[in-house]
Copies of this chain bind each other. A is one copy, B any other.
Amino acid sequence: MTTDHVFAALASPARRRLLRLLLDEGAQPAGRLAVRFDMSRPSVSEHLKVLKDAGLVAEARKGRERHYRLEAGPLMEISEWLTPYERFWRERLSALSSLLDEMDDLDPDDQRDARGPDGSDDLNGRNGEQPHV
């Protein structure tokens, strides 16, 4: 149930789809989930096991069925991991949108070069020095 497990579990499209099904349709027995997949039932069962080990689903025995339900908690770890990058992509987005705004202000047929005066790349996207260790 570590962060590693969660990231690894999400690496599989089949497993992400399982989570989505549980989110959209609520808890379900393994078999009902399995028939949706173009894959053998035991394989789906193993994917469920990976999700369970990552803490992303929980099972409850109901008679001879086992109902799996979504356990979204561990996804918070992904969200938290993502947080520090958010600022970064927002900067890029706002840079892009202001660039588009500028272009709107010009004659639509008279744009040629939106780069800086020196034509350089600004590798860091912030035009400043970096630690470099």
Interface residues, chain A, with chain B CB atoms under 8 Å away:
4, 7-8, 10-11, 13, 16, 19-20, 23-28, 32, 60, 67, 69-70, 72-73, 75-76, 78-79, 81-82, 84-86, 88-89, 92, 121, 123-125, 130-133
Check if A25 sits within 8 Å of B124, measured CB to CB: no
Distance, CA A69 to CA B20, complexed state (A): 33
| A26, B131: Cβ atoms closer than 8 Å | yes
**Are the CB atoms of B75 and A89 closer together than 8 Å?**
yes
Considering the complex of A and B, which 9 residue pairs feature the smallest CB-CB distances, nearest first? A26-B130, A11-B11, A72-B89, A72-B88, A27-B123, A72-B85, A25-B131, A8-B11, A75-B85
A31 to chain B, nearest CB (A): 12
Q: Report how many copies the assembly holds.
A: 2
Report A70 CB to chain B, min CB distance, Å: 7
CB pair B72–A92 under 8 Å, yes or no, is yes
- Which of A13, A23, A26: most chain B CB closer than 10 A? A26
